[in-house]
Each structure stands twice: as C-alpha cells, then as structure tokens.
Structure 1
Amino acid sequence: MATTRTEIPGPAGLPLLGSMFDLKDDTLGTFLRSQREHGDVVRITAGPPGIRATVYCVFSAEGAQQVLAGEAANFRKENNFYEEIRESFGNGLLTAQDEDYLRQRRLVQPLFTRKRVDGYAEAVAAEVARVLTGWQDADDATVDVLDEMTELALRAVARILFGTDVDAAVEIVERCFPVINDYVQRRGYSPLSTPREWPTPGNRKAAAAHRELYAVCDRIIAERRASGRTGAQDLLSLLAEAESAEDRSFDADELREQVLIFLLAGHETTATSLGFALHLLALHPEQRKRAHEEVDRVLAGRTPTAADLDALPYLTQVLKEAMRLFPAAPAIGRRAVAATEIGGHTIPAGADVIVAPWVTHRHPDYWPDADRFDPDRFTPEAEAERPRYAWFPFGGGPRACIGQHFSMLESVIALAMVLQAYDFEAIDTEVPLSTGITLQALGTARVRLHARTA
C-alpha cells in the first residue's frame, strides 16, 4: 500500500512574497510551470506573512475527476472568488449550494433538454446572419473575431432569454459586464478588500454598473409578468412559469439572479470557444480547408439546423480542440471541507483547491505535442483512449455546466455559417491572455475576410 506524502511540493517564489508576482503577472503560465517542475499536486503560496494565501493545485485528469465528481461534496464553492461572484450576480445556478442549488437545478433542468435547446437553433442562425451582413462593410475586410463572437454570443443568449427585448438588454450588458467582471477579479484574488459599502471610486463604479444591470433585468421581468401572457418560448417566460409542488416557483429576485447568471455564463464561454476556433482556423489553412469541405458537402448552401449537428463532426472536433487550447474557464476553484488524499498527497481541511483545464488540457500524459492545433484529437476513437477528465471545459460532476448542449449548438451553427460565407487568414498570430471570471484576451485576433462565391 502506497504511503501518503504529506509534504506537497511547489515553487519557492520570493522569500517574503512567495509566488505573488508570478501569479499576478502570469497566472496560467505559473500553473503550467508548476506542473512541469513539481508534478500533479502542487502547493503555491502568495503574499506577505500575515495575509499569505495558500492554494493547492490538482493537475491530473484523475485528480480533477476526484475534486469535481467522485468527491464533489467535499469540495465546495466557498472560496473568495465565488463569494464575489455571488455578491455581484446573485445566488443563481452557478453559485448556489446544497438544497438551494438542487431546487434551482430541478426547476431549470426541463428548460435545457436537448429537444428544448434544439428549438433555439433558428434564433441563433438569425443572429449569425446579422453578424455576417455587418461583415460585408468591414473596413479593409478585416474583423476581430474575438470581439465579433462576443457580440454574437451576447445577442444570441439575450434573444433566447428575452425574446423581442434584445436591444434593451444588450447595450447595458456590454457596458456593465466588463466593469463588474474586473471588480470581481480584483476582489476575488486580493487577500484584503475594502467593504463594498465604502465610497471608494472602484466601489462606486461597480455599484452603478450593478444598479443599471439589475434595473434592466427587473424591468423586463416586471413587464413580462404584468403582460400576463403564457406559452411564450423565450427562456425568461419559461423560467417565470417553472413551478413544482415541491420547489414552488422563482420569485422576482431569484428570476433576476438566474437571468444574470445565464447572461454571464451563456455568452462569455461560447464567445471564447467560437472566437478562438476561428482564430485557430485562420492560422491553419489545411484544417480550414477540411472544415470548408465538410460544410459545403453537408449543407450545400442552406442554413444549418439542429438536425445537422451530428453530420458536422469535423466542426465539432475543431471546437473541442479550440476549447482544449483556450478553455473559457481555465481554472476552477473549490474549498476542501475535510482533509483528502489526492495523488498520494494530503490536501488539508479548509484548503483552497484549484483544478485547471488550462494545465490538464496540455498535460503530456494525455496530449502529445500539446501546443499543436489538431482537431483529430477528438475523433471518437481518440477520445475513447483518454481519461474522462483529460478534457473538461464545461466542468464536471454534479456541477457540470447545464448549458453545454446550447453552447455546442450555437457554436457549430455559427462556425458553419461563417465558413459558408467566408475564407479568412490571420493577421494577429498571438493573442495575449489573462484570467478573470473567464479567460480574457488582452489583444486582438484580427482576420482578413475573403467572401466565398456560391
């Protein structure tokens, strides 16, 4: 029987500050180097004595599965980062726990069945067509695919949430979300934060963004309920009508919290996957040619529908490989309730634990030549040979993303329609990155468009 090693290795960092500056300057690179130099369970400390933070990183597929699925009850969303998300976006499905989470999940789950989600394909296609029409007038036939896919994903999820009230919400969300995201990131990673009620410039700016965002959601919800209409198929109407004898229904505050979480999780993650899929195809003409050929063969010029997803396997592989290299949630945090053995090491009770798709998706045990873009890693045969949690862009276990089928539906339809209309080549070859609530691009991913003829 193996003996547990209680001394967990990790980077030494600076004598008084540990890895504080490394994490601040390059969080993802620090995690990656830590795995290469110290193994699959790593202890990282940061900050001066007295307010020093310690985090335990778990990088193996088996460890990720243990944290997210096998022993999920022992690893809770109770760290500072989730508390900041909770304070900013409410206690919706992303942040709720225990019976509160189970109740919300039971009410929401019927709205995310495959049949229900497939019904949104037409709305997604209409928003993609709107984007492509705008590209006809792009200056120098150049667009930033990350920006463009962010707007597309936001409009698509807003249209599905609010129906005809898209424009009212999108302009405010585009303005307010970056403010709140930055606020959550700074407070979530800081060992010391001022109370939110203190009138600091940062607090006042975030509070104003909160008020504006809450107000537009509350107004749309109130108008929808006042209209008395039933049977509408937008997600807000379905959420408002969701009810059971056991779980009751959502009140107005709960509805707003679900809407805000769906806006957050439903657009930033899909935008990241789509934007980087286009960026990677722009850099790799051979794979782009294969994608064009599949789209032309299967669709023959018509608009894709939900029924076409299974007939576009290479596009799905492209998206999965983009999510491997650029996972929208590059690091996922939990807090251990009890001491737990992972990979031969003991994680102490109360410890902050991170599993990192950014690192596991590049782990040499699962991904040879890991930095190379290769959609053929995701053929059914190749997937069957890897551990289940070698790839987990949607999280996993009982807290896996409820919207992952919608994300894939939207992404395949959008990618197919872009490829129908355009060939393109990369202008920007490298995109600097940072971490926030999701993966953040610090630069552009511009491509030059070439309209395709029918």
Structure 2
Amino acid sequence: MNPIEVPTASGLPLLGSMLDLGRDPLGTYERARKEHGDVVRIVSGPPGLRTEIYFVFSAEGAQQVLASQAANFRKDDAFSMEMRETFGNGLLSSLDEDHLRQRRLLSPLFTKRKVAEYARAVCDEVDAMCGEWEADGGTGADLNEDMSRLTVRMITRILFGSDAEEAAAVVRRCMPVLGTYTLKRGLMPVNLPRSFPTAANRRASAAQAELYALCDRFIDQRRGSSDATGKDGADDLLTLLINARSDEDTPLTDRELRDQALVFLLAGSDTTATSLTFAMHLLARHQDVQDSTRAEVLAALGGRRPTPKDLDAIPALERVLKEAMRLYPAAPVLIRRAAQAAVIDGYAIPAGSYVYVCPWVTHRHPSYWPDPERFDPDRFLPAQASDRSRYAWFPLGGGPRSCIGNHFAMLQMKLAVAMFLQRYRFTGLEEEVPLEVGVTIRAARSVTCRLAPVGPLSADALSSA
C-alpha cells in the first residue's frame, strides 16, 4: 500500500498557523487532529522564513518515531541544538555514541533499587514543606509555587547533598530565565548570535554563567576531597556521577559532569513540579478520589512516614499520578528530525522534516481514552489498561531515549502525595487552571487550595521515621 500524503492544517495565506501557535499551541494541536487526522502538517511563518512541522498524534505513530524507527528520528533539530548550547551535552540532548556512553555510565545510578536510597531525603523535604504551611497558619497553599519549591529542594539535596540550600536558590533564580530563552530561540526561524549584546542574551548569559560556576565549584570540591573516592561515605548524586564507571567507557570529565548535573536540575525540578501540582489540584477538585486514595494510604501506613517498600501496597497512588500525567504531560511535545524519508502510521514523511510526537493530544485521543477530559484514575486499573496501546500514554518518552529518571520521579511523587494526604484534606479553589507552555507546561498562575488537618495522625505520628 502506497503511503498517504500528509494533510496540511488550515492557516492564513501568508503566516500559516503562526498566530494560532503563538496564542494557543495546545488548542491548535488538538484542532489539527480533530480536523485532519492522526498525522498533520502545520506550516508557520511568512514565505522565506517558513517552518513545516509534521505532527504525529496516534499511539502507533508515536511508537514508530520513538521506538521502532528511533534511529531515523534524531534529536538534532533546532530546539535540541539550542538546548545543547544552553544546558550542555548531557543525556537530554546528546547524540549517537555520546548518548550511548552516557546512558551506560548513568543507568546503574537510576535503577528502582538505587533511587530508593533517596526516599529519606525526599520525605524530609516534604515534612519541611508541611512545616512551612503550618507556620503560615496551615489553612491554604499555592500548589504551583509550593510544588516548584519542593521539587527544586528535592533535586538539589539529592544532587548536591549538604550544599543544597545554596544550590536551590541559584536554580530557582536562573532556570526560568534559561528555559524561556532557549524555547524562544528554538522556535524562531532566525536568531541573532548569542554573543550579540541584546538584553535577552545578556540575561541568559548571566544566568548560565551563575549555574555553570555553581556546578563547577561543587565538582572541584568533590574532586579535591576524599568524598570523591567514597571513603567518607558521601552519597550525593554528584559524587556518584564522579565515581560512575563501566567496563567499556572512560569516566565522565568535569565538563560532562556539569552537563549531566544541569540536565538533572532541569528535568528533576520542572517536570516533577508540573506533575505534582496537577496531581494535587485534581485530588483537591475530586474529593471522592482523594478520600479513597487517603483511605488506602492510611490502611498501609497507619500514619507513619512511607518507605519505598510500602508503595506497592498503595496502588491508588500510581493510578492518580498516571492520570494526572495523562491530562497534564509535562512535556506536551517531543521533537525529532527525520534523517531519511519514512512512513509513519501510513503517511509519507519527507527526509529532513521536523516531526513532533504529541503526548498532549495522544493522551486525549478518544480512540484510546473514552471521555478523555474526565479525571478517572481507574483507567489505569490492570483490567482497563491491558488492551490499551503501549504509546497511548508516554509522558516520560519512550524507546532508547526514554527518561532515565522515571523510577526516581515516580518515587518522589508517590512519597510526597502519601505524606500530604495523611496530613491534610485538600479542597481546590480553582476550577480552571490556565497553562503556560514553555520547555515544559506549568500553571500560568497560582493554583490555590484550602488545607484542613485530617485528624490526630496529622502531626505527631507523621513526624516519626
């Protein structure tokens, strides 16, 4: 059967879909699928500066791009190159042998068993967040702001250990500047050189220099101490990265260590913050799901602090988180470039094309998700999920470039939600949450909710390890 020509989304004669993508990118993606099908060409920009993007919305197409034909769909597009310029050549953007070598060195540090060692640090930070809420009166929270602070503190503590407090302040100050800057450059058809002294270039250069200096200083400190050999029992992730070895690879250089640290700071804060914000928001808006999940948590824990071994006895946590990540995937699109011509889901993709697979749309596709806008964690019960396409849900990517930190992210979120639900009843005050689309999606404003203590277990029992 001959491949099908990809339909083109309607747009303005001169600008194509540029204005729609600027005003409402997520809505534009959804309309494209509804009007034209599962593979759609979207044209943006005036003649001479026009960008053509092939969007893939089906689960089958996503699997082909990310997994079965992954070798042909490379991360050497303009956005990925801008990411590399900003955040270095770490796992997020490295290519070919560089990526394979990094993956071999780092994979042993992110197994389910290994990341379980960070549970105590995660729980300590959740306790600290609850303590801040109580110091403020314990009656309300801004989930958007608070989950962002929480996840930055988690990842900086795990990455840098005792240096976490200083690092968290730098990350909170610099990462938003660099994320916005990189996204704008990645989407523009033409950019001025980064060395040109525009206000945006100067702000980004200062933020990048501050982050680089922070990481370089911590690397130098560990290189110059016995901690880097493991003799003093140092177990922060940066020390483990310094000591990472494999039979076939040389250790990471100082520059490579910095690049990996920057990737973990970016991915370990923004994506987890988005998922936690919306998981708690959805629970706060759906009291029946919140109550049933809390009952399962209390039955398993009885008010004590959770451990990784407890989590298998609380499957409701995973269902809630997966449903939140279905509705609000932190990365709404994953970008690739077709090295050679290909056929995806029956459609012809020309060589050199930009190809966007789109979790935001696939996760709302009615072929896989009945009543797709409804929050229903029971979609992930084994009986309901068994016949569903593997790539109907892929918030953490897939194939050889799937997120190396998936076990770590799920551990963080499960522990946090379990602790929150034991201590508080959350009542949502926001019906609709407008979204800001950047490198990741996030709430565009405060996501407020009321807090009420659950009962006598909410204080003394939860403070015990």
TM-score normalised by the shorter chain: which range applies?
A: over 0.9
Question: How many Å separate the matches in 2 of 1:401 and 1:140?
Answer: 35
Worse overlay, 87-96 or 428-437: 428-437
| Structure 2: runs of 5 or more not aligned | 457-465
For the aligned residue pairs, the C-alpha RMSD in angstroms reads 1.0
Residues 1:175 and 2:173 are matched in the alignment: yes
User: Which aligned pairs between 1:26-105 and structure 2 lie closer than 5 A?
Assistant: 26-105=24-103
* Contact 1:366–1:386, Cα closer than 8 Å, also in 2: yes
User: Which aligned pairs between 1:363-382 and structure 2 lie closer than 5 A?
Assistant: 363-382=365-384
| Deviations, residues 247-269 of structure 1 (Å, cap 9, x unaligned) | 11111111000000011111111
1:192 aligned to which of 165, 190, 193: 190
User: Which aligned pairs between 1:37-436 and structure 2 lie closer than 5 A?
Assistant: 37-138=35-136, 141-229=139-227, 230-231=229-230, 232-436=234-438
Report how far residue 398 of structure 1 moved. Answer: 0.3
Report how far residue 362 of structure 1 moved. Answer: 0.2
Counterpart residue identity of residue 82, structure 2: E
Question: How many Å separate the matches in 2 of 1:453 and 1:12?
Answer: 56
Report how far residue 139 of structure 1 moved. Answer: 5.6
Does the residue aligned with 2:197 lie in a helix, a strand or coil?
coil
Report how far residue 100 of structure 1 moved. Answer: 0.5
Report how far residue 379 of structure 1 moved. Answer: 0.7
Show the counterpart of 1:3.
2
Does the residue aligned with 2:223 lie in a helix, a strand or coil?
helix
Question: How many Å separate the matches in 2 of 1:190 and 1:440?
Answer: 21
Counterpart residue identity of residue 369, structure 1: D
Does the residue aligned with 2:375 lie in a helix, a strand or coil?
coil
Query: TM-score with structure 2 length normalisation?
Result: 0.96
* Contact 1:58–1:355, Cα closer than 8 Å, also in 2: yes
* Contact 1:357–1:391, Cα closer than 8 Å, also in 2: yes
Question: How many Å separate the matches in 2 of 1:431 and 1:32?
Answer: 18
| Deviations, residues 132-158 of structure 1 (Å, cap 9, x unaligned) | 111102368221112111111111111
Report how far residue 245 of structure 1 moved. Answer: 4.7
Does the residue aligned with 1:118 lie in a helix, a strand or coil?
helix
| Deviations, residues 351-403 of structure 1 (Å, cap 9, x unaligned) | 00000000000000000000000000001121111000000010000000000
Does the residue aligned with 1:120 lie in a helix, a strand or coil?
helix
Question: How many Å separate the matches in 2 of 1:325 and 1:10?
Answer: 26
| Deviations, residues 312-367 of structure 1 (Å, cap 9, x unaligned) | 10111000000000001110000001111112210000000000000000000000
Question: How many Å separate the matches in 2 of 1:63 and 1:343?
Answer: 5
Runs of 4+ in 1 over 3 A off after TM superposition: none
Counterpart residue identity of residue 349, structure 2: I
Q: 1:154–1:140: structure 2 CA closer, same or farther, 3 Å change rule?
A: closer
Question: How many Å separate the matches in 1 of 2:112 and 2:429?
Answer: 37
2:444 aligned to which of 442, 445, 448: 442
* Contact 2:66–2:398, Cα closer than 8 Å, also in 1: yes
Counterpart residue identity of residue 3, structure 2: T
Report how far residue 244 of structure 1 moved. Answer: 3.3
| Deviations, residues 416-438 of structure 1 (Å, cap 9, x unaligned) | 00001100111112111132111
Report how far residue 448 of structure 1 moved. Answer: 0.7
Worse overlay, 244-253 or 206-215: 244-253
Q: 1:134–1:117: structure 2 CA closer, same or farther, 3 Å change rule?
A: same
* Residues matched between the structures, number: 452
Question: How many Å separate the matches in 2 of 1:221 and 1:36?
Answer: 50
Counterpart residue identity of residue 425, structure 2: D
Question: How many Å separate the matches in 2 of 1:364 and 1:259?
Answer: 39
Counterpart residue identity of residue 193, structure 2: P
* Contact 2:185–2:191, Cα closer than 8 Å, also in 1: yes
Show the counterpart of 2:459.
none
* Contact 1:10–1:44, Cα closer than 8 Å, also in 2: yes
Counterpart residue identity of residue 280, structure 1: L
Does the residue aligned with 1:303 lie in a helix, a strand or coil?
coil
Report how far residue 207 of structure 1 moved. Answer: 0.2
Using the aligned pairs only, state the percent identity.
54
* Contact 1:338–1:349, Cα closer than 8 Å, also in 2: yes
Counterpart residue identity of residue 399, structure 2: G
Report how far residue 246 of structure 1 moved. Answer: 2.3
| Structure 1: runs of 5 or more not aligned | none
Query: TM-score with structure 1 length normalisation?
Result: 0.98
Question: How many Å separate the matches in 2 of 1:320 and 1:235?
Answer: 26
Does the residue aligned with 2:40 lie in a helix, a strand or coil?
strand
Worse overlay, 385-394 or 438-447: 438-447
Q: 1:133–1:373: structure 2 CA closer, same or farther, 3 Å change rule?
A: same
Counterpart residue identity of residue 24, structure 1: G
Counterpart residue identity of residue 106, structure 2: V
* Contact 2:426–2:449, Cα closer than 8 Å, also in 1: yes
Question: How many Å separate the matches in 1 of 2:416 and 2:289?
Answer: 17
| Deviations, residues 29-78 of structure 1 (Å, cap 9, x unaligned) | 10011001100000000000000000000000000000000000000001
* Contact 1:168–1:216, Cα closer than 8 Å, also in 2: no
